[in-house]
Homo-oligomer: A and B are copies of this chain.
Amino acid sequence: MSVTAAQGFTAAGIAAGLKENGNPDLALVVNNGPRLAAAGVFTSNRVKAAPVVWSEQVLKGGTVSAVVLNSGGANACTGPLGFQDTHATAEQAAEVLGLNAGEVAIASTGLIGLRLPMDKLLPGIDRAAAELTEHGGEKAAIAIKTTDSVHKTAVVTRDGWTVGGMAKGAGMLAPGLATMLVVLTTDADVPAAGLDTALRAATRTTFDRVDSDGCMSTNDTVLLLASGASGVVPDTAAFAEAVRAVCDDLARQLIGDAEGASKDIRIEVVGAASEDDAVEVGRSIARNNLLKCALHGEDPNWGRVLSAIGTTSAVFEPDQLNVAINDIWVCKNGSVGEDRELVDMRYREVRITADLAAGTESAVIWANDLTADYVHENSAYSS
């Protein structure tokens, strides 16, 4: 049900002709209220696409009436003219929907460095507006796909209110593989500040801990819109948990559909002196190309895990490190542990546990393996 699972939202997804192959490429999500509260989290890349720069401004007001999302072009590194294109997109949506352009968020994904074909995009907005329905969430989720093999949606329903959402991409907020675009909606009655708190807490331990290939996008955007249409003011903790659950679900779907990947790698760092240490070590393991290749080859190569840990500034002693792969402690006290032949590597999910033996903090990072398919897909992307 995606972004229309919650009451008070309509959506549409159409083929505006931005993609040469004629696939759907333009999505519209409209908040029909009564509340128009919103929060957003954006890429931390300093090179930001025009729609990110625009939407960051929109979100400062805490009000979003509609979101226009397009695949088929990132509108990044397109200079002042690219920003004008984003502005014109918001104006067009505002006009056809009878809204204020300053309350229309924009998100784009696709190749960097190309202007969008505005002669197709602007009429597309009119057509999408004409197709807005309370059941349009699925079509909207399909229209934002780029290299995604499947569209990604998630819904959580609680006592009288719902959080739903859609996502595209195979990566994360910071950093991000392909651009990640996420729109979450809720009919819970929550003001912008409450949405912001819940969204930041949720993304910090979900999308922010997905590290498929270590590359950060110029366009990553996660929006949370509240219509208040349920009339229910939710318990703060329950709402935060529902937002986290939807984010976690979508984040796992991103990892599961990462470009060319054959393994989903769950890296849990335990025994850390601080959560920051645990995240730093987890990311270092997640980004080690040699390890990612080894896991693709179903080789429980724990030496490459230790080698990755050794590049961090986390608190640990090399001769106290312990590493388990799929629950077999192949490395104990920095040296050979249980027989690596015991590790069963046949399944898509690989679980790495790294024990720093330096404290009680922990963190989980999700990553993918490195495959020939990843290379092929990303060698040919823009050609």
Contacts and interface: CB of A to CB of B under 8 A. Distances in A.
Interface stretch (A40-48, A55-63, A101-109): A40-48
Nearest to A379: B297
A293 B375 contact: yes
Interface string A201-229: 00000000000011111100000000000
B215 A297 contact: no
Interface string A326-367: 000001011110000000000000000000000000000000
A8 interface: no
A67 B73 CA distance: 57
Given A296-B375, A319-B79, A380-B297, A287 B214 contact: yes
A346 to B, nearest CB: 14
A376 B316 CA distance: 33
Nearest to A112: B303
A302 interface: yes
A214 B218 CA distance: 22
Interface residues of A, number: 65
A383 B297 contact: yes
B306 A77 contact: yes
Tell me the number of copies of this protein: 2
A334 B381 contact: no
B213 A289 contact: yes
Given A45-B307, A311-B175, A379-B299, A290 B335 contact: no
A310 interface: yes
A294 B79 contact: no
A133 interface: no
Contacts of A217: 307
Given A299-B381, A374-B293, A375-B372, A307 B218 contact: yes
Given A372-B375, A375-B375, 8 more contacts: A46-B312, A77-B331, A77-B334, A82-B335, A112-B302, A293-B381, A297-B380, A370-B375
19 contacts: A46-B311, A47-B307, A47-B309, A47-B321, A48-B310, A74-B303, A77-B336, A78-B336, A112-B302, A113-B303, A214-B288, A215-B307, A218-B303, A289-B370, A294-B382, A297-B381, A301-B381, A301-B382, A375-B375
Interface of A: 45-48, 74, 76-79, 82, 111-115, 175, 177, 213-218, 287-290, 293-294, 296-297, 299, 301-304, 306-312, 316, 318-319, 321, 331, 333-336, 370-372, 374-383
